[in-house]
Structure 1
Amino acid sequence: MEIQATDIAQTLSTLVRRVLAANPSPFTYTGTQTYVVGTGDVAIIDPGPADPDHIAGILAATAGQRITAIVCTHTHRDHSPGAKPLAEASGAPIIGCAPLMLEDSGPRADASFDPNYVPDRVLSDGERLSGVGWTLEAVATPGHTSNHLCYALIEEGALFTGDHIMGWSTTVVSPPDGDMADYMASLDKLIARTDAIYYPAHGEPVTNPQRFARSLAGHRKQREGQILRLVRDGVGVIEDMVPRMYSGIDKQLYPAAGRSVLAHLIDLENRGKAVRDGVAWRVEAIA
């Protein structure tokens, strides 16, 4: 993979550029990718953290152009906090996902919710915004968070997937807001679409979108099967499941993996296949 400089625009297509924030971590990969859409009047997708250097990089990338919309996929802190300072600098409205004030019990400090996100306009599924030569359509994709939106760039058949689909790893689904059933339904929704390319917030563009989304859905079904087998064999505590299921990952990622295991278990509980027994889980029925 080509090493990308931070806070400097890189052209990906006629209508799309990206600016990488300097916030790499085990959860954000090389950092959050902010996308610039358009060539005259432009939209900014996921302005990222409220890092002055990153905001300056976005403004430098759009010098001589007019930012007409600042668009957020969801309100985790590595995605939306840059919206406010960018709006103050550009005068552009903040448009996109709904605000979400929720204490996430997950382990990711970088992915807790942004309490200062105040949109000027909230988009619903299928709503559009446009500029000269470009049209963005909101695609509701709850699961990673309940307020997650992807955005389709109609003119290029592209989809900005935020954290719903990432180019380097599976996404964390962390209860109470993250919901595995919603996540799987959102994957099915994207599989049924005809997008030609995905632009994720973390990782490289995905050029085989439907196959990639199907592989993610298959991966989640495999994880569900692993969980059911472990619970059936008497391994019912999440902290004991994770090392068996994720033996190849960095141990500092175990807590995040445990959140996704919990999301699977809650989904299984809602479907009558598992039941919580104190801190442990047991199989209730196998359909």
Structure 2
Amino acid sequence: MPFLTEPEPERRLPIPVASGIRRIVASNPSLMTYHGTNTYLIESEEGTIVLDPGPDDDGHLEDILRATGGRISSILLSHTHSDHFGSMAALKARTGARTFAFHLSADSAFAPDVPLKDGDTVAGMVALHTPGHASDHLCFARPDGIVFSADHVMSWSSSIVSPPGGDMASYFTSLRRMLTRDDRLFLPGHGPPLPNPAPYVQELLDSRLKREDAIAAALLDGPHGTWDLVDRLYSQTHPWLRQAAERNVTAHLLKLRSEGRAEQHGEIWVSTDWMMKDVTNSRS
């Protein structure tokens, strides 16, 4: 599907992306994070809000403090993956700002100052619980049609769904939820802004459905291991991304198992339809 690209953004400086919103791109580029994690600085009546303070990096922390003059009213977190969450404790210690995150944290060592549930409002934004990529994932929707979509919907790539924290059935549900909305701009956790996001979200969902159909079809041919399916379905994948592909395949398999369409026997997965056919053939 057609992903968006952008030149490497200027480092260490806040870049305006919309009225009253700037981003600082952390210096953690990789095949998994694109140019780096987007930390958003949002101006509000209460002061500057920091959304996703980024990785545990002293330089990035100083960039945030310099861009805000250290006057930060609150710190919002989309989810507790380290590339978004790593600087939260240090930023809170330096500013005293309260932290806001989903009330059921996926990190047992972290509890936000203000736990959020689906539909709660913070600084005029509605917290949308969108599990799939992470169990504690939140998007934040503004009344002007801008949504901070974090890693649920990214413009430069599809998201990894890695069990046990990631769940493919939840991811499908969360994508479908975004399709019921009339948003005009997504600001993702990595990569450039995504205007008119609905067609893109539909393509993400369709692509995942096709992948799941391909996995189900492969299992109809007989038993397969997870890595066999990766080799069969992701033959063009960069070797460094094979682990991510394996995580996605595992998430699809677990979804198929929960639906009664596949069974796991050790490291081998089989289609329930294939097993029924095999039993029928053995009796005939």
- Which runs of structure 2 are paired with 1:39-50 in the superposition (5 Å)? 41-50=47-56
Question: Residues 174 and 260 of structure 1 are in contact (CA less than 8 Å); yes or no, is this contact kept in structure 2?
Answer: yes
User: In structure 1, what is the Cα distance between the partners aligned to 2:193 and 2:206?
Assistant: 20
User: In structure 2, what is the Cα distance between the partners aligned to 1:39 and 1:182?
Assistant: 32
Question: Residues 43 and 49 of structure 2 are in contact (CA less than 8 Å); yes or no, is this contact kept in structure 1?
Answer: yes
Match of 1:29 in 2: 34
Match of 1:206 in 2: 194
What's the CA shift string for 1:19-73, capped at 9, x where partnerless?
000011111111100001116611111101121110111111112x731110000
User: In structure 2, what is the Cα distance between the partners aligned to 1:206 and 1:182?
Assistant: 22
Aligned pair 1:151/2:157, yes or no?
no
Match of 1:142 in 2: 131
User: In structure 2, what is the Cα distance between the partners aligned to 1:50 and 1:32?
Assistant: 11
Aligned pair 1:66/2:71, yes or no?
yes
Runs of 4 or more above 4 Å deviation: none
Match of 2:184 in 1: 196
Match of 1:81 in 2: 86
User: In structure 1, what is the Cα distance between the partners aligned to 2:189 and 2:138?
Assistant: 12
Q: From 100, 103, 107, give the equivalent of 2:105.
A: 100
Aligned partner of residue 30 in structure 2, secondary structure: coil
Equivalent residues, number: 268
Gaps (5+ residues) in structure 1?
A: 102-113
Aligned partner of residue 128 in structure 2, secondary structure: strand
Q: Percent identity?
A: 37
244-253 vs 173-182, greater mean Cα deviation: 244-253
What's the CA shift string for 1:214-266, capped at 9, x where partnerless?
11110110000110111112361111111221122211111111111111111
Post-superposition offset of 1:95: 0.7
Match of 2:120 in 1: 127
Q: Greater helix share, 1 or 2?
A: 2
Aligned pair 1:265/2:253, yes or no?
yes
**RMSD of aligned Cα (Å):** 1.6
Post-superposition offset of 1:196: 0.6
User: In structure 1, what is the Cα distance between the partners aligned to 2:178 and 2:232?
Assistant: 30
User: In structure 2, what is the Cα distance between the partners aligned to 1:233 and 1:6?
Assistant: 50
Structure index of larger Rg? 2
Q: From 2, 6, 15, give the equivalent of 2:20.
A: 15
Aligned partner of residue 223 in structure 1, secondary structure: helix
Match of 1:239 in 2: 227
Match of 2:277 in 1: none
User: In structure 2, what is the Cα distance between the partners aligned to 1:39 and 1:126?
Assistant: 19
**Alignment TM-score, normalising by the size of structure 2:** 0.90
